Amino acid sequence: MNGKSKHGLRAAMAAGVAGLLLTGCGGGGKSAATTPDGWGTLDTKRLSVAYPKGFKEAPVGKGNPYEVARATLTEGGVMVASMSVEFDFGTGMHTADTAVIGAETRIQLGATPAKTTEIQVAGPDGSQEARKITYSFTSRGKEGTPPKGTKLDGMMVTGVDTEQRPYLITVNSKEGTLSNRDVSDIVDSVALKKTKK
């Protein structure tokens, strides 16, 4: 994608999310995925990603046909964090740049400005280009989310798989629940698989 086209798509995306700004945050990713001891894994047909200790796999969210896997963390019976994997969540997204535009439009309106960072994730033939998006917001208390008013940190990893189909990993957690190391380890655990359409 050339610079002008990329700029135009980002401008359109920004308008669609009411001027959500992009600010900075670090990223990670290795040519070989790593999973910390004691962590679990959401293992799907097209990718795998690890979740921290304490998380448990859960049924996919109702009303979201793109979600294929989910894990949640509860404290005192209240959900404080969730991780989900989605595939094919939009059309016309065949590169990391176009996948990130589709992902950013899914960030809740009113979220605190976020940063999109270029990263690398593990693939079947070496590292593959992806994007990490970070943001913060306040829960609206919808089903499958923390209680209304909970301040949350958000992180997305998005790109396309070996067949240029978009994927999206979303991690939302109550402020302070996940450390920067946890977030980095999640990114470093992502491994795309060799697949066919």
2-11, 63-72, 180-189: which has the minimum mean pLDDT?
2-11
pLDDT tens figures, 56-102: 999 997 888 999 999 999 998 888 999 999 999 988 899 999 999 88
Distance CA 143, CA 35 (A): 30
In a domain? residue 197: no
| Average pLDDT, rounded, for the chain | 83
Taking a C-beta distance cutoff of 8 angstroms, is the pair 60, 71 a contact?
Answer: no
CATH number, domain at 120?
3.40.1000.10
Instruction: Tell me the residue range of the domain where 101 lies.
Output: 3-192
Taking a C-beta distance cutoff of 8 angstroms, is the pair 128, 146 a contact?
Answer: no
pTM comes to 0.82
In a domain? residue 120: yes
In a domain? residue 140: yes
Query: How many separate domains does the chain show?
Result: 1
